[in-house]
Amino acid sequence: MKVFTSSDEDRTYHYSQYLKKFKLPFKLNLERGDVLDEVIVAYETYGKLNPQKSNCILICHAITGDSHVAQHNSEDIPGWWDIMVGPDKYIDTNKYFVICSNILGSCRGTTGPNSINKKTGKFYGPDFPLITVGDMVNVQKNLIDHLKIDKLLGVIGGSLGGFQCIEWATKYPDKILGCVPIASSPRLTTQGLAFDVVARNAITSDPNFNYGNYYSQEKKPDIGLALARMLGHITYLSPESMNEKFEIDRNNPREISTSFEKKFSIGSYLAYQGERFVERFDANSYITISTALDLFDLGSDKKTLSKNLLKTKCDWMIISFSSDWLYPSFQSLNIVESLIDNSKKVSYCNVESKAGHDAFLLEQDVAEYGQITQSFFDLLSNQKNTIIKQSKILDDKVKIGLDNRIDFQYISELIPDNAKILDLGCEEGNLIDRLISRGISSSLGVEIDQANVIECIKKGIKVIHSDLDSRLEKFEDKKFDVAILSQTLQSIKNVERILKEMTRVSKFGIVSFPNFAHSPMREMFYNEGRAPKSSGWYGYNWYDTPNVRFPSILDFIEFCKEKNIKIIKSLFLNSETSKKIEKNPNLNADSAIFLIS
């Protein structure tokens, strides 16, 4: 393993020979009131635009990125997202026309503080105006118009790139079909903001900063900029990734030539990253862009956030990472919940990762988030999904197994046409698949298992990666017509609260569960003195079962009576015979379905 492997590993100050430039044909009015007389946009394109101009994906880069998202060929310099973008990769340039432009305020080709101000003939430097993420997106919009593209298939980006994606969705709702913010949020946390403040102070406190007028100096504010980058790298890593990288040789740093401390391995790493960074980036640009990032704010409360997302029209695919403490996953969920409140189409996955915020730039988790984004864009563009075979609706008369669920037939019959469905514990989405085949298109799944969530996304099923025990209360009252809890009751920690929330968020609830008072279960326990085990839902050993409760039909009926839950209809099944049970179901049925309110 490379000692200094990071998201900066292959970035250099060099430009790709494929860099293009476009000059805006007019002055740019900025959101905070200033005007830029001239704006040059540096950008690169990959793949071919189809005749319908319907296959265009805009990639938005993070704070220190640039237009060179990927190599154009083997002779080209490395791109910052080569693991994702290119022929036959997750964002497949054989299918899609990909655009990536350097953002306004940067120093990598687009107009920024290190550009010449035509009015003065000097570098803008500290006189470069205050800009916003909205200004960055306005420049991108002008580029898209210049390329005569009326509508983007989608926008995708991580971190600050995610902010740009969200800005596209809110500011130009008719211009994009899909939005994929990765490792992003409605706004930076106060803790994240504090790190940026310290980083900017490190730059401005450098003796060579000279109030931002350093371009004619031999010495630049390299120490301050390097310190800012070191601080940034700390926020990009998780505690787990830091331990993995540096604990093995904690007191044996790599020998490098640096004026910074290098007593420990983490010190030499940070020094190396900081000193490499100053070779390719400008201090004034760092201040300009980080300030724009910090100003981005869709709201700190649900009401404000929902209001700001109300006008969006695109499909959403939101991705976070479990170990990202700079843009924690709860912030992504806040966006998700506000979109659901507004009845927008959204899926969400919190990718399990040790890599921290930088996970979206590193190879170790690309198999997960890469599949998700590939499926999202392929389905959005009606492309054939090359990852999976589309799910096949099962025959109604099959027996219960891991995928073959006879109870799905009867649950489906309880759901009226055009109902709005919430499937709690949806697994791979097979029930929703069945309902979609019936023409019920308004459905949402909630699932805690990441692999199942990814399978749902591959099928085009809207799904939220979340724990029922902690997030169900976030849904609005009567938001759904029917909430389904199918074969999940026995694994829930707080049954009373979940059922109460089910009947709050929906007009009706459907609950199905295995009946642990079924006669074979009783006989096995009585005759053999062992924990019952059989096929299907009972097919677990006592030590590895996900079941934390073992309800019987009578238990559930008694529970509903005690908690004033109305049972509208009940069905009892024997999966081996695929028949309904009328006589003594608590003994003879192996599963039950209840319609409640």
Q: What is the dihedral angle through the alpha carbons of 169, 174, 180, 186, rounded to the nearest 10 degrees? A: 10
Beta strand extents in 489-555 (DSSP E only): 506-514
Q: How far is Cα 443 from Cα 290, in angstroms, rounded to an integer?
A: 39
Alpha helices, DSSP H, located in 102-176: 133-146, 160-171
**Torsions phi, psi for 411 (to 5 deg):** -60, -45
State the catalytic residues.
159, 324, 357
Cα-based distances in Å from 581 to 357, 535, 572, 584:
53, 19, 5, 8
Contact 61, 7 (CB under 8 A): no
Q: What is the dihedral angle through the alpha carbons of 48, 49, 52, 53, rounded to the nearest 10 degrees? A: 160
Q: What would you measure as the largest C-alpha separation in the chain, in angstroms?
A: 94
Residue count (the chain):
597
User: 71: which strand partners?
Assistant: none
Cα-based distances in Å from 176 to 31, 86, 312, 357:
22, 21, 10, 26
Nearest to residue 465, comparing CAs of 301, 298, 354, 317?
A: 317
Q: Three-state DSSP class for 275?
A: helix
Q: How far is Cα 237 from Cα 146, in angstroms, rounded to an integer?
A: 38
- Planar angle of CA 343, 349, 353, nearest 5 degrees: 160
Q: How far is Cα 5 from Cα 131, in angstroms, rounded to an integer?
A: 33
DSSP state of 79: P
Contact 497, 577 (CB under 8 A): no
Q: Produce one character per residue of 432-448: b if its CB has 16 or more CB atoms within 10 Å, e if not.
A: bbbbbeeebebbbbbbb
CA 439 to chain centre: 28
The contacts of residue 441 (CB under 8 Å, 6+ apart) are none
Q: How far is Cα 370 from Cα 89, in angstroms, rounded to an integer?
A: 9
Cα-based distances in Å from 302 to 332, 335, 474, 586:
12, 8, 10, 45
